Amino acid sequence: MSAINKLERHQARTAYLFIAPTMLLFVIFMVIPVGMALYLSFTNYDVLSRMDWVGLDNYRRLWDDSLLWLTFRNVLLYAVLFVPLNIVVSFGLGLLVNKAWRGIKLLRTLYYLPTLTSAVAAATVWLWLLHPEFGLVNGVLSGLGITGPAWVAETETAMVAIVLVTLWQSVGSNMIIYLAGLQGVPGHLYESARLDGANRWDMIRYITWPQLRPTTFLVSTMAIIGALQLFDQAFVLTQGGPANTTKTPVYLIYQQGFNQLQMGYASAQAFVLAMAILIFTIVNMRITRAEESVI
């Protein structure tokens, strides 16, 4: 007995040794800063001159902060549009490029290419494409007899424009993740389904989709977190306008902390955002894991 214990202890020690570097980095760069930020959210820290304990004042102020809640509504709207579209489009692309056609590698590369572009550069090009009078998008629309809107400048379409641009940029990498998942689905499942008379749609619905549930969970979780932390594309495309319709919490937190030097209050806002992300991730986990995998 004691020999086994000793072996286990030895193995445990080695395991701890192996994870130590990662854990150390995690503690220094994540746990300590998060703990500090939590502490700061109870102070009136301004980076330069003071850091006094103010209790729940910052959190009380949050209730009346209509602008903060507006930015939350904005990213929620964004997430509702972006997350499902992201899954559908990248799953669809994954299915398409999973075939062993000639030239498929070229297509995969092309679909992936937008992901490699810098977010700011891509947004700048899109601004030009979406220009109301001289842009390509409205040019095509007017060819079809439709007067296109001033995409990024009108309150109704600004968020749609941001969804389009971010979607264009993120489906590539998610397509790769789905592709990896698709190649891992065992072929015998399709074979037996075909013997039982299943058509192509049935196979996607009852084999591919359920088999890819872990992939979908990963993709949707990342998409939700990314959506709630939306910042750079929105900033370049619209600077939060028009009429605050595309202002996001991260933009507001940055402004409050670094431009207005109210780091304590900004930390409180950041914690609300972190909690929101946590809640949505848990909800998403429940939904995606509702059904058990086929095998």
Q: For binding to other proteins (CB under 8 A), which residues are involved? A: 29-30, 33-34, 36-37, 40, 44, 46-49, 61, 64, 66-67, 124, 127-128, 130-133, 135, 147, 150-155, 225, 229, 231, 241-244, 247, 250, 253-255, 257-262, 266-267, 269-270, 273-274, 277
Q: Which is nearer to other proteins, 2 or 259 (CB)?
A: 259
Could you tell me the smallest distance in angstroms from the CB atom of residue 252 to other proteins? 8
Long-range contacts of 268-271 (CB under 8 A, 24+ apart): 268/41, 268/58, 268/59, 268/61, 268/62, 269/62, 269/65, 269/68, 270/37, 270/41, 271/37, 271/38, 271/41
Could you tell me the smallest distance in angstroms from the CB atom of residue 241 to other proteins? 6
Could you tell me the smallest distance in angstroms from the CB atom of residue 152 to other proteins? 6
CA dist., res. 95 & res. 208, Å (int): 9
Q: Which residue has the tokens 């990498």?
A: 173
Q: Which is nearer to other proteins, 40 or 162 (CB)?
A: 40
Q: Which is nearer to other proteins, 210 or 241 (CB)?
A: 241
Q: Which is nearer to other proteins, 16 or 128 (CB)?
A: 128
Could you tell me the smallest distance in angstroms from the CB atom of residue 109 to other proteins? 28
Q: Which is nearer to other proteins, 75 or 93 (CB)?
A: 75
Tell how far CA 257 is from the center of its chain. 23
Could you tell me the smallest distance in angstroms from the CB atom of residue 64 to other proteins? 8
Q: Which is nearer to other proteins, 47 or 294 (CB)?
A: 47
- Contact between 119 and 226 under an 8 Å Cβ cutoff? The reply is no
Could you tell me the smallest distance in angstroms from the CB atom of residue 165 to other proteins? 12
CA dist., res. 276 & res. 225, Å (int): 10
43 forms beta bridges with: 53
Could you tell me the smallest distance in angstroms from the CB atom of residue 291 to other proteins? 30
Q: Which is nearer to other proteins, 32 or 180 (CB)?
A: 32
